[in-house]
């Protein structure tokens, strides 16, 4: 028995399921999760000493790679001054200013501690601003584990949400309406049926939690127009895409301005963080300026702010987005070529340094088409890659990420593993 197996067995005695976030348990792919001991650049090492090229990237934050020297130094220096004060710091002001300067729709920002907290708070703010209660979200888009967002669809686009998780009151989940991603007609039907009741539409502008699914031409623009017509706030959940697909996020990339934006991941440089921001007239409803209460003991934590600020400074100085796009596009196109050569049907969705390979004919444009991919083939491919030293997300429905540390050597080793792995699961060349 290896050390990961021993740790997992022990963890299940003290931690529900042996993990502190469900996808880490490898339930989607089977087997025992790898317990990670350390990370550097594009590599991680497990507790048994095995090395992997990492495409999980802590689920997105590590755009510079692991343990980037300047970020490590910034955290080390800040730690020596104390880890938390429960009082304002200059770091919070500088990080807020940097976010406002980068994101065209954001005039003010509030720091929190997670993406879930950011979304929960933004929706509370939208309800207060509009005086309405209902929220429209999209099937397959994940916005954290707040009660009202843990819902799934019933039959039909206008079906009210029903709880996806035990412990969520049905009456609360029913305040959440659902529509398929990339379906503006469904959004219009929901709005017509619930006219005057919807506070906000919340969307991942690029979905990253059903695998990477891109917005079709006109989808985000159409949402903006519908929200304007119905006096509904538009919220972009850019927890993943913020500073990942470009310096100004997906809103800058697509030229669509939401009323509120939720952030996380990269703005903390790998430390726990969240934030939400938007138009001044909306944000000033927050306490202590206004009547909407929101608070957090560790909000604006100096360690997270230091790591996030240093990460954003590096991204602004080095502007790596074009090179990251080129590397990721190359990797994805080569994966597709290898799959064609081997005779395995693969659709690869990619934007910037985010990508997902689906074992399906495609196109993958929404939750239903993502769910139609071959999950058993994905499971086998995941293990084939892991055995060859490539660590992919242990779920079909999660995005993979490149960092600036993924260079030619990582590309070559990854593509060699892809070719061998696809041959293994397919039984050889056609």
Are 179 and 187 spatial neighbours (Cβ–Cβ below 8 Å)?
yes
Q: What pLDDT score was predicted for residue 163?
A: 63
Low-confidence residues of the chain: pLDDT under 50: 153-160, 428-430
Q: By C-alpha distance, which of 320, 243, 263 is closest to 109?
A: 263
Record the pTM: 0.95
391 is catalytic: no
Q: What pLDDT score was predicted for residue 162?
A: 54
Q: What pLDDT score was predicted for residue 427?
A: 77
142 is catalytic: yes
- Per-residue pLDDT tens over the stretch 264-299: 999 999 999 999 999 999 999 999 999 999 999 999
- Give me the catalytic one of 52, 68, 142, 321: 142
- Give me the catalytic one of 55, 134, 254, 265: 265
Q: What pLDDT score was predicted for residue 174?
A: 86
- Per-residue pLDDT tens over the stretch 123-171: 999 999 999 999 999 999 999 988 888 776 432 333 345 566 788 888 7
**Strand 51-54 relative to strand 390-391: parallel, antiparallel, unpaired?**
parallel
Q: Which domains does the chain have, with CATH numbers?
A: 3-63+320-426 (3.90.1150.10), 69-318 (3.40.640.10)
Q: By C-alpha distance, which of 376, 287, 390 is closest to 335?
A: 390
Q: What pLDDT score was predicted for residue 157?
A: 32
Q: By C-alpha distance, which of 177, 208, 172, 159 is closest to 351?
A: 208
Q: What pLDDT score was predicted for residue 419?
A: 96
Q: What pLDDT score was predicted for residue 294?
A: 95
265 is catalytic: yes
Q: How many helices (H) and strands (E) does the chain have?
A: 14, 16
Q: What pLDDT score was predicted for residue 102?
A: 98
Q: What pLDDT score was predicted for residue 153?
A: 40
d(CA 181, CA 203): 9
């Amino acid at each position: 028995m290896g050390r990961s197996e021993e740790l997992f067995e022990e963890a299940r005695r003290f931690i529900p399921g042996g993990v502190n976030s469900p996808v880490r348990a490898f339930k989607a792919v089977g087997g025992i999760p790898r317990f990670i001991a350390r990370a550097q650049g594009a590599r991680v090492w497990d507790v048994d000493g095995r090395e992997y090229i990492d495409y999980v990237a802590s689920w997105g934050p590590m755009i510079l790679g692991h343990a980037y020297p300047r970020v490590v130094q910034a955290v080390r220096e800040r730690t020596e001054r104390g880890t938390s004060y429960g009082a304002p710091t200059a770091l919070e002001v500088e990080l807020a200013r940097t976010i406002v300067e980068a994101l065209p729709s954001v005039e003010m920002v509030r720091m929190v501690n997670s993406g879930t907290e950011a979304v929960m708070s933004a929706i509370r703010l939208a309800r207060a601003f509009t005086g309405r209660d209902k929220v429209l979200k999209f099937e397959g888009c994940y916005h954290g584990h707040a009660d009202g967002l843990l819902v799934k669809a019933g039959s039909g686009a206008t079906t009210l949400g029903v709880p996806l998780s035990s412990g969520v009151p049905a009456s609360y989940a029913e305040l959440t309406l659902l529509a398929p991603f990339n379906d503006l007609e469904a959004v219009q039907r929901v709005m017509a049926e619930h006219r005057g009741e919807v506070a906000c539409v919340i969307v991942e502008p690029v979905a990253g939690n059903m695998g990477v699914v891109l917005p079709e031409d006109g989808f985000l623009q159409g949402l903006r127009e519908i929200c304007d017509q119905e006096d509904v706030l538009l919220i972009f959940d850019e927890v993943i895409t913020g500073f990942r697909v470009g310096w100004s996020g997906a809103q800058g990339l697509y030229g669509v301005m939401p009323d509120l934006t939720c952030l996380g991941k990269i703005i903390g440089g790998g430390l726990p963080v969240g934030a939400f921001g938007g138009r001044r007239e909306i944000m000033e409803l927050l306490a202590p300026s206004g009547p909407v209460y929101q608070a957090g003991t560790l909000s604006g934590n100096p360690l997270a702010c230091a790591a996030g600020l240093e990460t954003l400074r590096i991204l602004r100085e080095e502007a790596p987005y074009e090179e990251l796009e080129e590397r990721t596009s190359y990797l994805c196109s080569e994966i597709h070529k290898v799959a064609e050569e081997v005779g395995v049907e693969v659709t690869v969705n990619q934007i910037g340094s985010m990508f997902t390979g689906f074992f399906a004919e495609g196109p993958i444009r929404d939750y239903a088409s993502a769910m139609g991919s071959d999950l058993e083939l994905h499971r086998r491919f995941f293990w084939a890659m892991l055995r060859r030293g490539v660590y992919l997300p242990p779920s079909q429905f999660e995005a993979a990420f490149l960092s600036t540390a993924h260079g030619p050597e990582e590309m070559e080793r990854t593509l060699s593993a892809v070719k061998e792995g696809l041959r293994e699961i397919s039984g050889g060349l056609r």
